[in-house]
Structure 1
Amino acid sequence: MKAVVCREYGGLDIARLEDVAPPPMRPGCVRVRVEAASASFASLLVMAGKHQNKAPLPLIPGTEVAGVVTEVAGDVSRFRPGDRVIAGVQSGGYAQEVVAPQQTVFDLPDSVGFEDGAQFPTIYGTAYGALKWRAQLAPSEFVLVHGAGGGSGLAAVEVAKALGGRVIATAGSDEKLEIARSRGAEHAINYREQDWREAVLEITRKRGADVVYDPVGGLTFDTSLRCIAPEGRIIPMGFAGGTIPTVPANIVLVKNITVLGIYWGYYFGWGRQPVLPSNDARMRAAYAELFEWVIQGKLKPFVHAVLPLSDFRTALEMIASRAVVGRVILRPQAG
């Protein structure tokens, strides 16, 4: 099969499209013919050896795929060949085939395309878990979403809106903000052109945002603490800005706020703990609800571009340039 392979850590130049042996089947797993893979900023970190989950070499990057089951292990009863699915994988997504544990594989409705489905294993799942499970977002609460034009931020805008939140989106261009508005943002702030902290306080009548969804980190996180409501919740779910912030405990204490962690891989069993039956059940319920929202038109994944696997470098360069709105999708079966 064809796959993007990194035989050392470094920049994009060290990755190559190679012909490699398909991954071996393992107990409890399913084999998926990958029809679409979601390119992401996280892949750039993995390839550079800078991601929190440092994959062993040689590695095939990519964590979100959608496709068709072609084979199942003898102990798998949940899926069968021919099923349309999405899958979250720790690595291996930029390839024509993946083998994934059945607990990280979920049904993809016939009415949802592969290019849309490939965005759900981690970015929509994370937004759902963060806002519904962890923040317990209530209808009419203000949700401040940073990086609202990127894949993670745009997913959070849509999920927050579907949960009844009032979304305040920040991004660095009017084009990105216009798309955020089209996906449910009630207010849009260009952080390059105005003081977004003051804008948030004005929108919320000085109270601040009830929930902050922050995939940026650094100064953005620090400033968010100055426009969060009393008893608000802030979710540091990424560090695209390059700096991991330190949480000042005095602000947490004085404003009665809660800092919420969200690592979606934990629910996939990517940490040290196995997937609990209770977590598996609510994960399947979560994806069922997410796809029901797609069918209802509440979620409309934005695809910036679709490229063949051979153009993986172009896809990741687009992401590194910060020009992408939503996601870039790779089609492994196209080359």
Structure 2
Amino acid sequence: MRAFVVRELAHPSGINLSHDVPEPTAGKDQVLVDVYSAGLNFFDTLQSQGKHQSKPPLPFILGSEFAGKIAQNSPIPEGCPYRPGNRVFGGTQGSFADRIAVNWNELLPLPDNVTLEEGAGLFVTWPTSYQALVGRAGLKSGDWVLVTAAAGGVGIAAVQIAKALGARVIAAAGSDSKLEIAKRVGGADYGVNYSKPGWQKAVLELTNKKGVDIIYDAVGLINDSLKCIAWNGRALVIGFAGGAIEKIPSNIILLKNISIVGLHLGAYKRNEPECIPLVWQKIFDLFTSGKARPVTYDRIFTLENLSEGLGAIERRETWGKAVVRLRKDEVNEKAKL
């Protein structure tokens, strides 16, 4: 079996694909899934170097998101609703492999109108963006929302969710080409380039000097963005793709009457597990209605050039969700012909 095995901590560019990895065996309450596509994330590069908070013991298989089908020879545990051939998606350590063993209750059925490649990038980005905007920031129709890194995986999901729920969305990115993607593909109303000094003035002009009600920041631009936040605004801390963890002056929080709100999606499983299925149902409703659609980068990577994909993310060349294709969905391909 092919798998991207980390035997010694190193940058992905220094790790070779393994071709002789033993196939997994299903444990209690587990099923076997043939992986068709896997999502690429910036934190994969950190994890392979031991720089991420999640540190699996060596050796381990890299990757955390996938979409695929229940294997034909998979055991079906008692109570499991899935059958061989069913399309599923989820998140587990080791998704950069031809086959994985995963607890069946950690899988979700892939909606009929979502492809396996689109499904590979759902598990982290969409619930992160939905729960942040709706559950944590209390998004309302008519709100002004500023999304940084708006063409990225979580960013473009946030843009679509905010638009679908009636917000006015300002995409923020570091290049005009990324802004064009956020508007053309994501549906953002406006765009501002935060590589240009004084970009916050453009936001204030767009909002008639009011500022934005919600800041969705996955980069580490909270301090800069607070210059254009509205009274009673909510600033969402989603991540630190820029590399630096900010220190926020508390007097600004007081003077502007604002809230700084964090989101740790992974901790919901432990602290609010009942919230997770509700969030997914709302996301599936958006897909069914056609108001939102998963966005994948226009270059599909393979296991053989996986490190190129992670490098492209690291250099901020990608947009939407970058994915790896492990095998083609021959059934669906024939159905299209």
Scaled by the length of structure 2, what TM-score is found? Answer: 0.90
Residue 114 (structure 1) shift: 0.6
Question: Which 10-residue stretch deviates more, 286-295 or 321-330?
Answer: 286-295
> RMSD of aligned C-alpha atoms?
1.8
Instruction: Find the counterpart in structure 1 of residue 16 from structure 2.
Output: 16
Question: What is aligned with 1:213?
Answer: 216
| 1:313 pairs with one of 307, 312, 316 | 307
Which residue identity lines up with residue 144 of structure 2 in the other structure? Answer: F
Q: Tell whether 2:332 aligns with 1:330.
A: no
Partner of 2:115: 113
Query: In structure 1, what is the Cα distance between the partners aligned to 2:78 and 2:197?
Result: 57
Deviation at 1:194, TM superposition (A): 5.1
Aligned to 2:239: 238
CA shift digits 1:186-210 (9 cap, x unpaired): 1101222452211111112222111
Note the residue ranges of structure 2 that are not aligned, 5 or more in a row: 329-337
Aligned residues: 323
Instruction: Show structure 1 runs of 4+ deviating over 4 A.
Output: none
Distance in 2 between the 1:56 and 1:44 partners?
16
Going from structure 1 to structure 2, the CA distance change for 1:92 and 1:110 (only over 3 Å counts) comes to same
1:80 aligns with 2:83: yes
Distance 1:104 1:222 in 2: 37
Question: What are the Cα deviations for residues 180-238 of structure 1, in whole angstroms up to 9, with x where unaligned?
Answer: 11222111012224522111111122221111110101xx2211122211211111111
CA contact (8 A) 1:28 1:76 kept: no
User: Which of 68, 78, 96 in structure 2 is aligned with 1:94?
Assistant: 96
Q: Matched residues in 1 for 2:142 and 2:181: separation?
A: 21
More strand by share: 1
Structure 1 runs not aligned, ≥5 long: none
Aligned position for 2:331: none
Distance 1:236 1:116, change over 3 A: same
Please show how residues 281-300 of structure 1 align to structure 2 within 5 Å. 283-300=276-293
- In 2: Cα distance, 1:30 partner to 1:288 partner: 23
Shift of 1:66: 0.7
Offset from partner CA, 1:275-332 (integer Å, 9 cap, x none): 74x23xxx23322332332233322322221122111011112112211111221012
1:101-150 Cα deviation digits (max 9, x unpaired): 33431111222101111111001111011111111100010111000111
Which position in structure 1 is the counterpart of 2:5? 5
Residue 146 of structure 2 is aligned to residue 152 of structure 1: no
Question: Kindly tell me: are residues 206 and 103 of structure 1, through their superposed partners in 2, closer, same or farther at Cα, counting changes over 3 Å?
Answer: farther
8 Å Cα contact 1:30/1:73 also seen in 2: yes
Partner residue in 1 for 2:195: 192
Q: Which range moved further: 291-300 or 156-165?
A: 291-300
Tell me which amino acid in the other structure corresponds to 1:203.
L
Alpha carbons of 1:21 and 1:149: their partners in 2 closer, same or farther (altered >3 Å)?
Answer: same
SS in 2 for 1:303: coil
Partner Cα distance (2:134, 2:121) in 1? 18
In the alignment, the residues of structure 2 paired with residue 241 and residue 137 of structure 1 have an alpha-carbon distance, to the nearest angstrom, of 25
What is the alpha-carbon distance in structure 2 between the residues aligned to residue 261 and residue 67 of structure 1?
Answer: 32
Equivalent in the alignment of 1:49: 50
Any idea what SS the aligned residue of 1:224 has?
helix
Deviates more, 1:129-138 or 1:290-299: 290-299
Work out the CA distance in 2 between the residues paired with 1:72 and 1:125: 29
Checking the alignment, whether the CA contact within 8 Å between 1:106 and 1:284 is kept in structure 2 is: no
Q: How many Å separate the matches in 1 of 2:256 and 2:75?
A: 51
Q: What is the TM-score normalised by the length of structure 1?
A: 0.90
Q: Distance in 2 between matches of 1:311 and 1:291?
A: 31
State the shift of 1:172 in Å.
1.7
| SS of equivalent to 1:202 | helix
Preserved CA contact (<8 Å) 1:26 1:73: no
Work out whether residues 144 and 213 of structure 1, in 8 Å CA contact, stay in contact via their aligned partners in 2.
yes
Mapped partners of 1:52, 1:79: distance in 2: 32
Structure 1: distance between partners of 2:211 and 2:75: 50
